[in-house]
């Protein structure tokens, strides 16, 4: 195990991923209280974004030496290489030091523990019989080496490292608009509609096709209501402006807000940029508003304005945080779960996360099962319109994967595609018009 691992293919999430060490980025974790979160210049490198408890350092030359130097600093607790999936240097992953292991059913317990001890791995969670979450110790090889060695063992069924990554948001970028008639996605008549966006534009009938909608007004008419006030919709996203009129409503719309990374109730839509400043993300606010936004003073609303919203902020993708997000939805009685984010690079979910989402889908609503709706993804708009198949959350066999169509009833070219898709639902794209959710 003394040889360096620079490239490897790991079995992961029922498939495989091709990993290579990033040539330009490493990550460090400082001792508590030793460093501020302000941007700092580092000799030969520059401190960038913060991902989970790690801070990214970038250097265009000598990245291995840079990591060695960082590890020698007295205030550095952990220094690690970042790993690119399919050599994607823009979005490398950070191995957190945690791994998920399932042993073969007939594996001898003493042999299991001997294997863990040989890699100096410590058990942090007993998931099931012969299934554990473990973490590396200062005496362990790096997590990727550990996974490589564990996958070689005949007594191991599954061995996967946990990675940390910033989520890629998945949905529309909505224009502002104060008029009820602009909500074409609720009912599309094919006629011109005034939508107040940055240009105060009047969109004509060439932008709409009758029936290219979600049939929401028809559902309201059949129900003779705007939905049940007992229904709770958990929205998992990168942050929420809880003071927005569509989310604040009468003051009782939001229930049990939860930050799955920090384990507190702060779901604010703020993210620290690499220059040390803060940006406001509107994505979660938009998604929650489209699902269940209250009727505001201008007649703007979501599809189920009477329903309650459980806002769950998932600002970093790790196995711990993802499980915590879905667990919060399960324990707080979510009737529906909506999630519109995913990994920036195509990759499967870990086995640990896959198993837990299956548990939520199966055991939610007191054993009736919880419907989970996942946006397929919209990164095709960033890849020169090259098709990208559905991966991670959207490919889970126990969820409903939703792709995108526009106001002309055409498939949105930025949307991912694949056999996992359950239906295509209205948003924006190409010559279509975006969905209005108020001034977000």
* 272-281 contacts, C-beta under 8 A, 24 or more apart: 272/37, 272/49, 272/50, 273/49, 274/39, 274/48, 274/49, 275/39, 276/37, 276/38, 276/39, 280/241, 281/169, 281/238, 281/239
Same domain for 267 and 320, yes or no, is yes
In a domain, 319, yes or no: yes
Same domain for 118 and 51, yes or no, is yes
Same domain for 75 and 185, yes or no, is no
Same domain for 153 and 17, yes or no, is yes
In a domain, 333, yes or no: yes
Same domain for 123 and 18, yes or no, is yes
Same domain for 121 and 174, yes or no, is no
In a domain, 295, yes or no: yes
Same domain for 174 and 267, yes or no, is yes
Number of domains into which the chain is organized: 2
In a domain, 434, yes or no: no
Q: φ, ψ for residue 240 (rounded to 5)?
A: -140, 135
Q: Which domain holds residue 20?
A: 1-164
Rounded distance between C-alpha atoms, residue 185 and residue 187, angstroms = 5
pLDDT truncated to tens, each residue of the chain (440 aa)? 456 789 999 999 999 999 999 999 999 999 887 754 444 445 455 556 889 889 999 988 889 999 999 999 998 999 999 999 998 888 899 999 999 999 999 999 999 999 999 999 999 999 999 999 999 999 999 999 999 999 999 999 999 999 999 888 765 443 333 444 567 677 677 777 655 443 445 566 677 788 777 788 888 888 888 888 999 999 999 999 999 888 988 899 999 999 999 999 999 987 665 556 666 677 888 899 889 988 877 677 888 999 999 999 999 999 999 999 999 999 999 999 999 999 888 889 999 999 999 999 999 999 999 999 999 887 655 445 455 678 899 999 999 999 888 887 887 777 787 788 888 888 776 667 777 655 54
Asked if residue 430 lies in contact with residue 406, where contact means CB atoms within 8 angstroms, the answer is yes
Same domain for 73 and 139, yes or no, is yes
Same domain for 124 and 226, yes or no, is no
* Final residue of a structural domain among 114, 144, 164: 164
Question: What CATH number is attached to the domain comprising 275?
Answer: 3.40.50.200
* Final residue of a structural domain among 147, 164, 181: 164
In a domain, 265, yes or no: yes
Same domain for 311 and 418, yes or no, is yes
* Final residue of a structural domain among 164, 192, 217: 164
């Amino acid at each position: 195990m003394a040889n360096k691992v620079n490239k490897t293919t790991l079995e992961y999430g029922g498939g495989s991923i091709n990993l290579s060490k990033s040539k330009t980025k490493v990550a460090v974790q400082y001792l508590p209280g030793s460093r501020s979160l302000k941007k700092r210049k580092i000799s030969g490198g520059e401190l960038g974004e913060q991902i989970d408890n790690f801070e990214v350092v970038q250097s265009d030359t000598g990245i291995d030496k840079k990591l060695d130097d960082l590890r020698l600093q007295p205030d550095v607790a952990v220094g690690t290489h970042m790993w690119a999936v399919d050599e994607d240097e823009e979005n490398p992953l950070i191995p957190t030091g945690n791994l998920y292991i399932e042993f073969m059913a007939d594996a001898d317990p003493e042999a299991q523990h001997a294997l863990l001890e040989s890699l100096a791995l410590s058990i942090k969670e007993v998931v099931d019989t012969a299934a554990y979450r473990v973490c590396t110790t200062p005496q362990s090889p790096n997590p990727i080496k550990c996974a490589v060695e564990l996958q070689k063992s005949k007594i191991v069924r599954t061995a996967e490292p946990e990675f940390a990554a910033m989520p890629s948001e998945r949905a529309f970028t909505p224009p502002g608009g104060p008029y009820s008639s602009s909500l074409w996605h609720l009912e599309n008549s094919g006629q011109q509609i005034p939508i107040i966006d940055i240009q105060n534009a009047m969109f004509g009938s060439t932008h709409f096709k009758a029936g290219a909608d979600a049939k929401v007004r028809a559902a309201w008419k059949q129900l003779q209501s705007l939905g049940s006030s007992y229904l709770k919709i958990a929205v998992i996203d990168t942050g929420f402006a809880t003071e927005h009129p569509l989310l604040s409503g009468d003051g009782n719309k939001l229930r049990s807000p939860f930050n799955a990374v920090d384990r507190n109730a702060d779901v604010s839509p703020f993210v620290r940029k690499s220059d040390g400043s803060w940006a406001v993300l509107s994505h979660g606010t938009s998604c929650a508003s489209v699902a269940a936004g209250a009727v505001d003073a201008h007649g703007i609303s979501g599809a189920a304005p009477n329903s309650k919203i459980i806002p769950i902020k998932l600002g970093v993708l790790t196995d711990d945080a993802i499980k915590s997000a879905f667990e919060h939805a399960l324990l707080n009685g979510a009737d529906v779960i909506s999630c519109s984010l995913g990994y920036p690079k195509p990759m499967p979910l870990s086995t640990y996360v896959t198993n837990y989402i299956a548990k939520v889908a199966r055991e939610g609503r007191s054993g009736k099962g919880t419907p989970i709706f996942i946006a397929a993804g919209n990164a095709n708009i960033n890849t020169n319109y090259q098709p990208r198949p559905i991966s991670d959350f959207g490919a889970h066999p126990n969820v409903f994967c939703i792709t995108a169509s526009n106001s002309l009833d055409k498939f949105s070219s930025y949307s991912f595609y694949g056999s996992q898709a359950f239906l295509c639902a209205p948003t924006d794209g190409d010559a279509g018009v975006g969905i209005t959710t108020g001034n977000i």
